[in-house]
Chain A
């Protein structure tokens, strides 16, 4: 076998894909040819590095940009629910019916067209529609009003007429516009401590019913799907508000859009037990309330510092198969949850018995002190609604980046890489002027150094200089080539 033939097969050899006889030939060549053997070793090491390349966290502004260009910004109706009789509709109906039950209140707000203009021109064009008044659903009236400075009018379930007129504007799948519900609106509930049993799940003017109505369709009866679908559309995020909570109001909402088969679909009454409040020990597995099949274990953030986004992990296990569960979380007063909608849904879907589901929740504490996460698990079959408060730790102010201790061991490391390492460890804001070129630095720490001092050492060792500009350290070549 020639070297070329051997090199051609190195990947297959590494991946274990060669037929035995070919592998023998390749290995025989490798035994004799030091060069090819070296290539194999290097390729193996390279593959290891490639496989260990970390996932990079996209910049936060990307998410905002994507959201801004999303058609959701330009449309109101959640036509998601429109696919009558499809699995999607049935499943969506069940989920949204649950949402409706716990919502109890909707609010209306006149929409100005201006909000859409941030979207990408193409999308706006596609979705441009006549002005329309739309309603939004929000988990909590107080919250919605606080979170939104646009004029808002609270509507109790009794104001079915308003909702109905809204519904009527939305006859087809092309939709009036709306903005989405307030993002990152946090729960006003904020009860952190191991709470006394059973405060109302959501504070609403019209008390959320402890006994909730679920249409048969909501649990899968096809016959009534279209009714539920229409009602449910309102309850869904960003959709025209179907009045929630009161059966009468719902009936009004339904008449607005002429639906087939409205002839009083039989309702089944399901009794939801009141939420159970427990204080879980952080990191320990914990049964979610008596009689529920759920066990959760929560790992709080490793580094509870304020002003930074830190992750916590939630593991959920169920003893019995659950067709559809919904897990929501809310942060304590000064704990903002990142990347979740106003409803705080972190998981929605089936849970299989004995299978662990791992969820990650990213959060940022705005002030120092003990913070907690309120986690709620709901499912229709079996009917469960249970809640848990979990301590997220005692958050402290972060050490200023410049004083953050750093350690390093640079050997012929390019200045950019060296500075990058200090930045990574400390979070300092540093600009490296390209004029620094490819100078390298060889330097190591015996003891941790404050980041600013370390930066100065490294930069000066590389023959460059560092100055401060608007709170940023700027690294430049001494002779200032640029």
Chain B
């Protein structure tokens, strides 16, 4: 689990942003390099499929690029990037509402099940098939939650942001973050209820 999007090994985000705003493409490149994995992972949990996550990641960095000049530095770059990521994801979810497209229907394209669809677990201790199935169930269940619930679960429980950070990203009061998280977890539990026996074990 990661708290931030990740840090550039070479330069601080602030240095890179200043340079990127001054027109340095190289600095922008480094920003992308440092953060795209985090953006992709966040989008993947929000949008459920790798292809949607890839598209969203691309949109995010386009928006970042266009909005660099408006980045004030009063929020941390990470917060700002999460906000853009969430906005892109929520836009996509709203779009989906109009053209009814569920996760399972998307699978109906006969998408290739390849390595890219599956988490890279090379560093994970061996997980049992059940644990993986559980993760898959939870991943899919997140995709059935409402936008608000999905957002807090992804940010708090998966990305590991603090209440404070989430409050900054979503621009909602801290108390709202807390209560929404509790309701989101309960809703997710209900989604998974049919498979509750997996949790018992």
A residues whose Cβ falls under 8 Å from a Cβ of B: 7-12, 17, 39, 42-43, 45-47, 49-59, 61-63, 65-67, 69-75, 78-80, 82-83, 86-88, 91, 120, 122-123, 173-175, 236-238, 302, 310-311, 345-349, 359, 408-411, 413, 416-417, 419-421, 423-424, 427, 429-434, 472
- Given A56-B119, A82-B22, 18 extra CB contacts under 8 A: A11-B178, A42-B196, A43-B185, A45-B199, A47-B185, A53-B1, A56-B41, A58-B41, A62-B58, A66-B57, A70-B32, A74-B25, A173-B22, A311-B123, A346-B9, A413-B133, A431-B111, A472-B112
Query: Across the interface, which residues of A come within 8 angstroms of B110, CB to CB?
Result: 431-434
> Are A408 and B120 closer than 8 Å at their CB atoms?
no
Task: Report if A39-B189 is in contact (Cβ < 8 Å); known contacts: A55-B120, A413-B133.
Answer: yes
Pairs of residues from A and B, 10 with the lowest C-beta to C-beta distance, nearest first = A80-B24, A57-B120, A72-B25, A50-B157, A11-B182, A54-B119, A434-B108, A348-B10, A71-B25, A58-B40
Give the residue name and chain of the A residue nearest to B65 (CB). A71
Q: A62 CA to B41 CA in the complex, in Å?
A: 12
> Are A83 and B29 closer than 8 Å at their CB atoms?
no
Q: A55 CA to B121 CA in the complex, in Å?
A: 8
> Are B26 and A58 closer than 8 Å at their CB atoms?
no
> Are A66 and B58 closer than 8 Å at their CB atoms?
yes
Q: A78 CA to B11 CA in the complex, in Å?
A: 15
Give the residue name and chain of the A residue nearest to B138 (CB). A49
- Is B97 engaged at the interface, CB distance under 8 Å to the other chain? no
Q: A317 CA to B36 CA in the complex, in Å?
A: 27
Query: Across the interface, which residues of A come within 8 angstroms of B37, CB to CB?
Result: 55, 57-58
- Is B135 engaged at the interface, CB distance under 8 Å to the other chain? yes
Query: Across the interface, which residues of B come within 8 angstroms of A61, CB to CB?
Result: 54
> Are B57 and A62 closer than 8 Å at their CB atoms?
yes
> Are A410 and B129 closer than 8 Å at their CB atoms?
yes
B76 CB to nearest chain A CB (Å):
18
Q: How many A-B residue pairs have CB under 8 A?
A: 219
- Is B94 engaged at the interface, CB distance under 8 Å to the other chain? no
> Are B32 and A46 closer than 8 Å at their CB atoms?
no
A208 CB to nearest chain B CB (Å):
23
B89 CB to nearest chain A CB (Å):
15
Q: A125 CA to B172 CA in the complex, in Å?
A: 37
B106 CB to nearest chain A CB (Å):
10
A432 CB to nearest chain B CB (Å):
6
B44 CB to nearest chain A CB (Å):
5
Q: A441 CA to B188 CA in the complex, in Å?
A: 25
Query: Across the interface, which residues of A come within 8 angstroms of B130, CB to CB?
Result: 409, 411
> Are B120 and A56 closer than 8 Å at their CB atoms?
yes
Task: Report if A69-B10 is in contact (Cβ < 8 Å); known contacts: A42-B189, A433-B110.
Answer: no
Task: Report if A420-B112 is in contact (Cβ < 8 Å); known contacts: A12-B182, A53-B45, A53-B135.
Answer: no
Query: Across the interface, which residues of B come within 8 angstroms of A122, CB to CB?
Result: 62, 66
Can you identify 18 A-B contacts, CB atoms within 8 angstroms?
A7-B182, A42-B199, A51-B1, A55-B37, A56-B40, A57-B37, A57-B119, A59-B50, A70-B28, A70-B29, A79-B23, A346-B9, A347-B9, A348-B9, A408-B129, A424-B121, A427-B115, A429-B112
Task: Report if A10-B65 is in contact (Cβ < 8 Å); known contacts: A86-B18, A359-B9.
Answer: no
Size band of the interface chain B makes with A? 35 or more
A181 CB to nearest chain B CB (Å):
11
Task: Report if A69-B36 is in contact (Cβ < 8 Å); known contacts: A174-B23, A302-B122.
Answer: no
Q: Which of A52, A80, A87, A173: most chain B CB closer than 10 A?
A: A80
- Is B149 engaged at the interface, CB distance under 8 Å to the other chain? no
B residues whose Cβ falls under 8 Å from a Cβ of A: 1-2, 9-11, 15, 18-19, 22-29, 32, 36-37, 40-41, 44-45, 50, 53-54, 57-58, 61-62, 65-66, 107-124, 128-136, 138-139, 153, 157-158, 160, 178-179, 181-182, 185-186, 188-189, 192, 196, 199-200
Q: A122 CA to B185 CA in the complex, in Å?
A: 41
Query: Across the interface, which residues of A come within 8 angstroms of B158, CB to CB?
Result: 50-51, 53
Query: Across the interface, which residues of A come within 8 angstroms of B15, CB to CB?
Result: 87-88, 91
* Residue among B23, B27, B61, B160 making CB contact with A175, cutoff 8 Å: B23
> Are A80 and B138 closer than 8 Å at their CB atoms?
no
* Residue among A39, A46, A55, A349 making CB contact with B192, cutoff 8 Å: A46
* Residue among A71, A346, A423 making CB contact with B118, cutoff 8 Å: A423
Query: Across the interface, which residues of A come within 8 angstroms of B153, CB to CB?
Result: 50
Query: Across the interface, which residues of B come within 8 angstroms of A410, CB to CB?
Result: 129
B155 CB to nearest chain A CB (Å):
11
Give the residue name and chain of the B residue nearest to A311 (CB). B122
Q: A91 CA to B134 CA in the complex, in Å?
A: 48
Give the residue name and chain of the A residue nearest to B122 (CB). A311
Q: A10 CA to B25 CA in the complex, in Å?
A: 48
> Are A420 and B18 closer than 8 Å at their CB atoms?
no
Query: Across the interface, which residues of A come within 8 angstroms of B114, CB to CB?
Result: 423, 429
> Are A72 and B29 closer than 8 Å at their CB atoms?
yes
A215 CB to nearest chain B CB (Å):
21
> Are B138 and A424 closer than 8 Å at their CB atoms?
no
Query: Across the interface, which residues of A come within 8 angstroms of B157, CB to CB?
Result: 47, 50-51
> Are B25 and A75 closer than 8 Å at their CB atoms?
yes
> Are B26 and A238 closer than 8 Å at their CB atoms?
yes
B2 CB to nearest chain A CB (Å):
7
Q: A78 CA to B138 CA in the complex, in Å?
A: 45
Q: A70 CA to B160 CA in the complex, in Å?
A: 29
Q: A62 CA to B50 CA in the complex, in Å?
A: 10
